[in-house]
Amino acid sequence: IQGLEQAVTNLTKQLESLQASKTTAPAPVPKKAEPKDMEPEDDDDDDEEIDLFGSDSEEVRPF
């Protein structure tokens, strides 16, 4: 149990140091947000695929 407590204290110290570095250097934070921005773009691609299915159904109707 003591080993776990030491590990937790070490992790909390690392988190505090990371938070301090984020406050001093806010530039890396938006860079981390960029991959999250890519995920909605993938969702947009899914919407485009749905539009393609809609066009396919329209193409099937004339046949």
Residues 6 or more apart from 29 whose CB is under 8 A from it? 22
**What's the rounded Cα separation, in Å, for the pair 22 and 28?**
7
Establish how many alpha carbons lie within 13 A of residue 58's alpha carbon, considering only the half-sphere containing its beta carbon.
6
Averaged pLDDT, 1-16:
89
Amino acid at 23: T
Q: Tell me the pLDDT tens digit for each residue of 16-37.
A: 887 776 665 555 555 555 555 5
**What's the rounded Cα separation, in Å, for the pair 46 and 38?**
13
> Model-level pTM?
0.32
